[in-house]
């Protein structure tokens, strides 16, 4: 039997000389080597594949086989999994592997994993020899629709998340939805928060496609056709924003929808109780309440957003929080300017506004209204 090679769709990220494609399709991982050749890298180039055991087990060999078939000389660095590994010390380990493998300016790092691997490998690539190429091969839904696209790389500082980093665009993003088959269901749900985010901030068609589907709680519920649509439309939304505002001068901040209040929830629960996407879901519910109370969107639209989030199984309610701690946390947000917190607020499904004139007490009240004790 002759096997047909998988066909991939392309979402371009139009950044002039730094432009690159997001290539999406089942079986894409087996085309890794070919896809890198197609981006102009020559056989013989040295490649460092950075991954972790959760991903290396099911996918490491396939990725390296594809690289070898295309004539690349690859080595693998398998790091420990987890957000607590996202530190300068781990990036030093990647630098050491780059040194041992004698990576040169024309060499390449492949990030095979979720957002943690992608952010660290991307940052190591941004800083090795003042910048070598990186290819992102995301294996979580969150990384496929968000982290792998757009060139934000970095690690955490004891004082806060992602405080150390660089903008470094990848040469290619290769998305194989089949890798989601091994992803824990809770991680898939967390990725769905970012998908709903794109619907609310930029893509009413995506929002309606999700609304028109039954349960959205698991991979089996989504099915291959909706999953493909989710990946393409989310990548398109992100690519459009990044192309318009690569370094977050203004527009790119809309990607932080749900993140400001979500960040409060993450911080005040010590980053242990919620996955990032779960906190973003709560943050979007709170931002929806805030927007309605400010008269920016309707109660009906707010209810649609809440119902969609509920159908993914994501949390809707913040845990009980101390008002004073919330105030303090909001004022310490990275994006505070002159004591004003910037909020991304929906004006209808598919459109948002950036506002820095929202009274802190209104934001606090919106977050508190999500909590079970006060709703
Ligand atoms: P993650 O990378 O920690 O992955 C979640 C878990 O799933 C990990 O345990 C991982 O080992 C495991 N895993 C990954 N792929 C798997 C697979 N296919 N099968 C089985 N297990 C798998 O988490 P994440 O949600 O992908 O990324 C979160 C990180 O991304 C955070 O550090 C966040 O700051 C960052 N982020 C960056 C950007 C950006 O623009 N650079 C955007 C959003 C988030
Ligand atoms: N995840 C937000 C951004 O890429 O800007």
Residue 168 designated active-site = no
| Of 315, 239, 234, the residue nearest 277 (C-alpha) | 315
| Cα 316 to Cα 330: distance, rounded to the nearest angstrom | 19
Question: Nearest ligand to the C-alpha of residue 154?
Answer: 1
| Cα 233 to Cα 230: distance, rounded to the nearest angstrom | 5
Q: Topology of domain 9-182, per CATH?
A: Rossmann fold (3.40.50)
Over range 188-202, report the average pLDDT.
98
Task: Provide residues with CB under 6 Å of ligand 2.
Answer: 146, 150, 152, 252, 255
CA of residue 4 to ligand 2 center, whole Å: 36
pLDDT at residue 367 above 80? yes
Q: Which atom of ligand 2 is nearest to the CA of 255?
A: 2
In the structure encoding, which two tokens stand for residue 213, read together? 């589907």
Assessment of whether the complete model's pTM goes beyond 0.85: yes
* Residue 374: predicted pLDDT: 43
Residue 239: CB atoms within 10 A of its CB come to: 22
Task: Provide residues with CB under 6 Å of ligand 1.
Answer: 52, 54-55, 81, 83, 86, 113-117, 119, 139-140, 142-143, 146-147, 150, 152, 161-162, 179, 182-183, 187, 190, 276
Residue with tokens 């203004």: 250
Residue 52 designated active-site = no
Query: pLDDT band at 332, cuts 50/70/90?
Result: confident
Q: Which runs of E-coded beta strand occur in the chain?
A: 9-13, 20-24, 46-51, 73-78, 108-113, 133-138, 152-157, 160-167, 172-175, 343-348, 351-355
* Residue 226: predicted pLDDT: 97
Query: pLDDT band at 373, cuts 50/70/90?
Result: low
For 160-190, write each residue's pLDDT tens digit.
889 999 999 999 999 999 999 999 999 999 9
CA of residue 28 to ligand 1 center, whole Å: 19
**Per-domain residue ranges of the chain:** 9-182, 185-368
**Does the structural domain 185-368 have CATH classification 3.30.420.40?**
no
CA of residue 201 to ligand 2 center, whole Å: 13
Quote the mean pLDDT of the chain.
Answer: 95
Identified catalytic residue from 39, 65, 252, 332: 252
Residue 18 designated active-site = no
User: Cβ contacts of residue 5 below 8 Å, gap of 6+?
Assistant: 27, 31
């Amino acid at each position: 039997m002759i096997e047909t090679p998988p066909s991939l769709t392309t979402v371009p990220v139009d950044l002039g000389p730094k432009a690159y494609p997001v290539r999406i399709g089942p079986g894409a991982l087996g085309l890794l080597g070919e896809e890198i050749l197609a981006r102009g890298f020559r056989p013989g180039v040295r490649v460092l594949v950075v991954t972790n055991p959760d991903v290396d087990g099911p996918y490491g060999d396939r990725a390296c086989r594809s690289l070898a078939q295309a004539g690349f000389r690859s080595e693998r660095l398998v790091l420990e999994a987890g957000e607590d590994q996202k530190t300068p010390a781990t990036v030093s380990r990647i630098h050491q592997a780059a040194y041992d493998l004698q990576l040169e300016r024309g060499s390449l790092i492949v990030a095979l994993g979720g957002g943690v691997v992608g952010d660290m490998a991307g940052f190591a690539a941004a800083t090795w020899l003042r910048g070598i190429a990186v290819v992102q091969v995301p294996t979580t839904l969150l990384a496929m629709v968000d982290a792998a696209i757009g060139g934000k790389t970095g690690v955490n500082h004891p004082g806060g998340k992602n405080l150390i980093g660089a903008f470094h665009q990848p040469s290619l993003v290769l998305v194989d939805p089949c890798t989601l088959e091994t992803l824990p269901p809770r991680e898939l749900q967390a990725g769905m928060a970012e998908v709903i985010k794109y619907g609310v901030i930029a893509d009413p068609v995506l929002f309606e496609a999700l609304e028109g589907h039954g349960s959205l709680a698991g991979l089996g519920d989504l099915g291959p056709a909706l999953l493909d649509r989710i990946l393409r439309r989310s990548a398109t939304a992100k690519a459009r924003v990044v192309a318009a505002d690569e370094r977050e001068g203004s527009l790119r901040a809309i990607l932080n929808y749900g993140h400001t209040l979500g960040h409060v929830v993450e911080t005040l629960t010590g980053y242990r109780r919620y996955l990032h996407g779960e906190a973003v879901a709560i943050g979007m519910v709170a931002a929806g309440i805030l927007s309605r109370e400010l008269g920016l969107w309707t109660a009906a639209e707010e209810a649609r957003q809440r119902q969609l989030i509920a159908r993914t199984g994501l949390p809707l309610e913040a845990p009980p929080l101390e008002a004073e701690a919330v105030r303090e946390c909001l004022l310490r947000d990275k994006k505070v300017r002159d004591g004003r917190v910037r909020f991304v607020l929906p004006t209808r499904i598919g459109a948002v506004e950036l506002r820095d004139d929202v009274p802190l007490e209104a934001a606090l009240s919106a977050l508190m209204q999500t909590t079970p004790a006060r709703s």
